[in-house]
Structure 1
Amino acid sequence: MIRTLVADDQVTVAQAHADLVERVPGFVCVGMVHDGRQVLARVGRGDVDLLLLDLAMPELTGLEVLRALRSQPRSPDVVVISAARDLDSVRECVRAGAVHYLIKPFTFAALRQKLEHYASYREIASREGTVTDQAEIDAALAALRDAGDSVLPKGLSRETLAAVRHVLRTTPQGVGAQAVAEEIGVSRVTARRYLEHLVEIGSVERLPVYGRTGRPELVYRLS
């Protein structure tokens, strides 16, 4: 089992994240802490494999915790979970050693995917001995990647997916498949395939909009 520590300054949020961790096969939550100094003290006990770390922590910020952990010889791997969407925060966390960055709020599917990819990486990287060739290192690093981005379903292109994401970013209130189709110049069916793919990998949420006769319209927005 991968022993996971949840760190979030909000008690209810930490509990919710801990409950989600327990739902992922192969993972167990070994505790919850609510400020940066508590994180370092709890990690110091030596029984934490993975830390889910919020950035907005009292006493020590999440980024300060990350930097402090780098000086410890057997520190856990860290997945940052934060509402911060600016690229500076992402870059700083990567520089400080985070293996993943998950934006709040997120779906269970998104967290499960990150944890499953981490478990695959850990299984490869924890083998004893030396690697035989570059391919083994590539396989370990590839395991950390989001499968939703690295391997697209048949018939989907990265260029069109990027265009769909751009429309979603510029319409934070949500947008329907028809509007996306008209914006990027594809059919409604095609636009919906891309939108549903983003829903499946946890990047987008699907919401029904009521108020008109007949079936509710589906609106998609970034999670």
Structure 2
Amino acid sequence: MINVLIVEDDPMVAEMNKFYLEQIQDFRAEGWAESAEQALSLLDSTHYDLLLLDIYMKGSSGLELLSEIRRKALPTDVIVISAARDKSSIRQALNNGAVDYLIKPFEFNRFRLAMDAYRKRAALFKRTGSMVQSELDAITHADANVGPSQPLPKGFTRQTLQAVWNAIEAASAEGFTSVDISAATGISRVSAGKYLTELEARGILEMELIYGTVGRPVQKYKITPHGKIQITKYLQ
């Protein structure tokens, strides 16, 4: 689980960020700070994997907090979520190691994209051993894998695709079948199979045939390493 500290002086915005975070697998809002000073106090006593950081706050700014985090070499990543859109603020945030920058107001899909990319980044750094170039490219050039909204095949709807994808994300990490997705969404097994087959064809899922002692082999699916990034093109 990725533990998150929300640093935001507006309670309504902080609550919205928390709500968004709760919709995404593997993330948990562990705390809220309404000032840079309060955030530093929490960081001194508690480890957080990720900060969702506003810039405009009472007292010290988010940029000052980010600089202090880097000065102290705290092992915490930062994603900036701010209305600040001037190049100076953005450059300073990125130069101080912010892994992403969301300009308010933003859409949920962009928020999800940031969290999915961060999840991938965190998983790679937690693994033992060195990285290969393709793994590094996946986190430094994640935007290269995402383009504008893509059309769906004939007979497919974004509403059903979203329901299928929600069921996929909630399914076992060991894999899932069309029967599992059908049961979770209420659509027919045949329809679930069509969606899974299409997602496999587009590189979002991978499929393995599981052979039993009798009968036909079972098609078991898993999300590919880039699947959570790629799916955003079809859910926009």
Does TM-score exceed 0.5, indicating one fold?
A: yes
Count of aligned residue pairs for this structure pair: 156
Identity %: 34
Task: Give the unaligned 5+ runs of structure 2.
Answer: 152-231
Q: Distance in 2 between matches of 1:146 and 1:79?
A: 19
CA deviation map 1:20-39 (0-9, x unaligned):
11111110000111011011
Shift in Å, 1:135: 3.3
TM-score (norm 2): 0.60
Moved more, 12-21 or 26-35: 12-21
Code of the residue aligned with 1:136 in structure 2: it is E
Point out 4+ residue stretches in structure 1 off by more than 4 angstroms.
151-154, 197-201
Q: Write the distance in 1 (CA, Å) between the matches of 2:64 and 2:144.
A: 26
Give 2:124's aligned amino acid.
I
Check 1:44–1:147 CA distance in 2 against 1; reply closer, same or farther (3 A cut). farther
Q: 1:136 to 1:113 in 2, by over 3 A?
A: closer
Structure 2 partner of 1:141: 140
Deviation at 1:137, TM superposition (A): 2.5
Partner of 1:96: 96
1:81–1:104 Cα contact (<8 Å) kept: yes
2:20 and 2:27 map into 1 onto residues whose CA distance is: 10
Residue in structure 2 matched with residue 13 of structure 1 by the alignment: 13
**Is the 2:7–2:52 contact (alpha carbons within 8 Å) kept by the matching residues of 1?**
yes
Judge conservation of contact 1:15–1:32 (CA < 8 Å) in 2.
no
For residue 152 of structure 1, report the CA deviation from its aligned partner. Answer: 7.5
Partner SS for 1:60: coil
**For 1:46 and 1:10, how far apart are their aligned partners in 2?**
22
Q: Note if contact 1:100-1:114 (Cα within 8 Å) is conserved in structure 2.
A: yes
Deviation at 1:153, TM superposition (A): 4.6
Pairs within 5 Å for 1:1-223: 1-131=1-131, 133-143=132-142, 145=143, 147-149=145-147, 153=150, 201=236
- C-alpha distance in structure 1 between counterparts of 2:127 and 2:234, whole Å: 34
Q: Output the amino acid matched with 1:66.
A: L
Task: Give the secondary-structure state (helix, strand or coil) at the position aligned to 1:136.
Answer: helix
Aligned-residue CA RMSD (Å): 2.4
Counterpart residue type for residue 82 of structure 2: S
Deviation for aligned residue 1:4: 0.7
Per the alignment, do residues 95 and 153 of structure 1 end up closer, same or farther by CA in structure 2, a change over 3 Å counting?
Answer: same
Q: Distance in 2 between matches of 1:74 and 1:135?
A: 27
Following superposition, the deviation at residue 136 of structure 1 comes to 3.4
Residues 69/104 of structure 1: CA separation in 2 closer, same or farther (3 Å cut): same
User: SS state of the match for residue 81, structure 1?
Assistant: strand
Q: Are the aligned partners of 2:7 and 2:34 in contact in 1 as well (CA < 8 Å)?
A: yes
Deviation at 1:108, TM superposition (A): 1.7
Tell me the CA shift for residue 13 of structure 1: 1.1
**How many Å apart are 1:125 and its aligned residue?**
2.1
Are the counterparts in 1 of residues 6 and 52 from structure 2 also a CA contact under 8 Å? yes
Classify the secondary structure of the residue corresponding to 2:136: helix
Q: Deviations over 1:127-180 (max 9, x none)?
A: 11223x43332233234x37434x8858xxxxxxxxxxxxxxxxxxxxxxxxxx
Contact 2:4 2:52 in 1 (8 A): yes
Whole-angstrom CA distance in 2 between matches of 1:37 and 1:108: 28
